[in-house]
Amino acid sequence: MSKETYVMPSAGFVREKDLLTVLSIGRTTLARWVASGRFPEAVNIGVKAKGWSVDVVREWISERSTSATK
């Protein structure tokens, strides 16, 4: 079984399915992180669409990478 890969765009928004791939987590984990404030909430990007700003996701990842190396 091949592992799906996803490369975030340089700008814009990332939807949940792709975010889960980038972070290598499941929907339940994401929901827990958002509910606990550990991860930012999605924003409305359309009438029925939500997503996360690529900049916010990259910053969140960078913060964790920086704190892990200290």
Q: Is the pTM of this model over 0.85?
A: no
Q: HSE of 70 in the Cβ direction (CA atoms, 13 Å)?
A: 6
Tell me the C-alpha distance between 23 and 63, whole Å. Answer: 14
The residue ranking higher by pLDDT, 65 or 12, is 12
| pLDDT confidence band for 47 (50 / 70 / 90) | very high
What gap in Å lies between CA 62 and CA 44, rounded to an integer?
24
Which is more confident, 66 or 57?
57
Q: What is the pLDDT of residues 2-21, one digit of tens each?
A: 466 788 889 999 999 999 99
